[in-house]
Amino acid sequence: MTVPTVSNDVANIEEADASQWLKSVRATGTWEGSMTTLVETRGFTFRTDEPVAVGGNNQSPTPMQYVVGAVNGCVTVVIEAVAGELGIAVEKIDTISHARQDVRGFRGTADVSPHFKTFTLEVHLRTPVPESELDVFKAQVEKRCPAINLVRDAGVDFDLVWQVSGVKA
């Protein structure tokens, strides 16, 4: 299997003008009271909310639940993109995330970080990829997934568990 690479000359040119490769991601938020925010991004809207016990209305996911779900969506996009580039057929992708955070950081009752402490992402993938190509494929997905790297770079204990079926010997 050949993994797409960039020549050193092209890489040096891109380094010189890396700003042309920067993508902006924007959103606006409007507080609606009772721990609820209306968010707009790229013409789409969604709300974040908190459970009633925290002062919210329990009508929408919490912001951190959106973050966890975004990791699932992001890794799925990257799997599809890398598979397409490498000519690997994908039959099914399911993801399961489980993140844990110490709520004392948010509440201000302890000097601990409010972000996730641990994050486990399970990827259940069905693909007829040859076993000899599987490690390169998985490494490319992990390297190129912005959400996985964002969580890891925050110092979160991140565990990615692959469950792959349909692999050819």
Q: What is the DSSP letter of 81?
A: H
Please say if the pLDDT value at position 54 is more than 70. Answer: yes
Span of 22-36, 60-74, 88-102, 138-152 with lowest mean pLDDT = 22-36
Write the single-letter amino acid at 152: R
Better pLDDT: 81 or 103: 81
Q: If 0-12 CB within 10 Å is exposed, 13-18 middle and 19+ buried, where does residue 152 land?
A: middle
pLDDT mean over 32-57: 91
Q: Token pair for residue 123?
A: 């990827």
pLDDT mean over 36-55: 91
Closest listed residue to residue 120, CA positions, set 73, 158, 151: 158
CA–CA dist 169, 77 (Å, integer): 26
Please say if the pLDDT value at position 168 is more than 90. Answer: no
Residue 158 CA: distances (Å) to CA of 62, 116, 117, 120? 21, 10, 9, 6
Which residues lie closer than 8 Å to 70 by C-beta, 6 or more apart?
147
Please say if the pLDDT value at position 4 is more than 60. Answer: no
